[in-house]
Amino acid sequence: ECNNGHMLRMVMFGKPGAGKGTLSSRLVKKYDILTISTGDLLRQHIAEGTQVGRQAGEIVAQGGLVPDDLMLKVVTSKLDALHDRHWILDGFPRTLGQGKLLDTHLESQNIPLTLIVNLDIPDKVILGRISDRWVHLPSGRVYNMSYNRPKVDGLDDETGEPLIKRPDDHPEIFSRRLKQFYASTSPLFSYYASNPKAARLVTLQGESSDEIWPKLEAAVLSSSPGLRERLPHKR
Ligand code: AP5
């Protein structure tokens, strides 16, 4: 496949709890884009007890990182079906090794990344949000009791199914995930920032979505001006 330069091939980069999932799903709801969240995929594998799920379960529960080669398999098995679609990766890559593996994989298909969005949110803000987070496991939809409440407490807006607390949002595990970010994920940021061939890198700062959303939308549209909004009846 030849990328004409306007297809969106975007990485959503940021600390745990920065809002990657929330903002990706907002983009996907408005525009004709697909998103792949490795966190959601792993949680589904774990819930279904697949082979990947059995390998990843304990690591995710402890707030560690799943090995790069396993993650590449999980991602590419989804990604390779999305040739002619606009897409966002949420939660991958998150190590330097994964970043290089992804570049190699995409180069072999001639579809380089076009945009890297770095969500830069203070730790203090994130820690406050996590205690209020609830998720719908099958879809990955995220709610927050102070910021975007579900219509009915404890239930998913679209399916009415129950929401859960993620076990790895327990404060002790969460602080391990945050440390893991500084140790393993921030080197990837330097790799993208210093590589002249890499995709456009945009850092977005802010504590509220009102600050971040318009900047994110502008960055995405300037990278892929041909993006179409979804038809209204699909919401
Ligand atoms: P994953 O699910 O990817 O977790 P994460 O990166 O730690 O990110 P989160 O899902 O916690 O946060 P988010 O940035 O999406 O924030 P959200 O939108 O929910 O990964 C889980 C685990 O899987 C990892 O720990 C690891 O073990 C494993 N794993 C996954 N990918 C891997 C990989 N590539 N390699 C190795 N291992 C991997 O927002 C957070 C909260 O804030 C929500 O409550 C939300 O409602 C609220 N909020 C969001 N935006 C705002 C706002 N603007 N204002 C107020 N509140 C807001």
10 Å CB burial of residue 84 (0-12, 13-18, 19+) is exposed
Pair type for strands 133-136 and 115-120: unpaired
Q: Say what the pLDDT of residue 5 is.
A: 59
Q: Say what the pLDDT of residue 205 is.
A: 94
Strand partners, 202: 117
65-71: long-range contacts, CB 8 A cutoff, minimum separation 24: 65/94, 65/95, 65/180, 65/184, 66/42, 68/95, 68/97, 68/98, 68/101, 69/101, 71/38, 71/98
Q: How many residues does the chain have?
A: 235
Measured CA to CA, the distance from residue 177 to residue 15 in angstroms comes to 9
Q: Say what the pLDDT of residue 233 is.
A: 61
Rg (CA), the chain: 17
CB atoms within 10 A of CB 5: 9
Asked if residues 117 and 13 have their Cβ atoms less than 8 Å apart, the reply is yes
Strand partners, 204: 119
Measured CA to CA, the distance from residue 115 to residue 158 in angstroms comes to 30
In degrees rounded to 5, what are phi and psi of residue 190? -60, -35
Q: For ligand 1, atom 3, which residue shows the shortest CA distance?
A: 39
Within 6 Å (CB) of ligand 1, which residues are found? Answer: 14, 16-22, 38-39, 42, 59-60, 63-66, 71, 91-92, 94, 98, 129, 132-133, 142, 144, 147-148, 168, 177, 208-209, 212
Q: Say what the pLDDT of residue 1 is.
A: 40
Measured CA to CA, the distance from residue 102 to residue 99 in angstroms comes to 5
Q: Which of 13, 15, 22 to mutate to test the pocket of ligand 1 (most atoms within 8 A of CB)?
A: 22
Tell me the pLDDT of the chain (235 aa) as tens digits: 444 558 999 999 999 999 999 999 999 999 999 999 999 999 999 999 999 999 999 999 999 999 999 999 999 999 988 888 999 999 999 999 999 999 999 999 888 999 999 999 999 999 989 999 999 999 999 999 988 899 999 999 999 999 999 999 999 999 999 999 999 999 999 999 998 777 899 999 988 878 999 999 999 999 999 899 998 765 5
In degrees rounded to 5, what are phi and psi of residue 36? -120, 115
CA nearest neighbour of 193 among 27, 17, 13: 13
Q: Say what the pLDDT of residue 4 is.
A: 52
Q: What is the pTM of this model?
A: 0.91
Determine the distance separating the centroid of ligand 1 and the alpha carbon of 174, expressed in angstroms: 10
Measured CA to CA, the distance from residue 62 to residue 85 in angstroms comes to 34
Q: Say what the pLDDT of residue 129 is.
A: 92
In degrees rounded to 5, what are phi and psi of residue 130? -65, -35
